[in-house]
Amino acid sequence: MEIIGPVLVSGITTGALYALATLGLSLVWGSLGMLNMAHGTLLTLGGYAAFTAASQLGLPVPLAVLAATAVGGVIGALIFALVAYPLSRRSPETFETTIMIATFGVALTLENA
């Protein structure tokens, strides 16, 4: 019986993270009409940013989450400004395919950096 509590908390936490990731993908698809293949990489970078802000910088957890949100927002804006926007201007009829390939390349680059 003492195992059921941690298992429930772990399951709820994992489910909430999946829901958050899905909500982010849905918002990007609905507002920009693009499928960001680097979305998971951005979530991972945000997690590392929150962990670093809390453990290394000594920020309280709510401030670390806000810092991670800012880091993710800046990186997402850079990806849009440097990758997505120029591609939408160049080839609007094949935007969906090219943006998927380009953001997949961004994901690979960020993961290997």
CA distance 87 to 91: 6
Q: How far is Cα 33 from Cα 17, in angstroms, rounded to an integer?
A: 23
pLDDT at 94: 76
Decide if pLDDT at 89 tops 90: no
Mean pLDDT of 75-88: 89
The percent of residues in the chain predicted with pLDDT above 70, rounded, is 99
The average pLDDT across 38-60 equals: 92
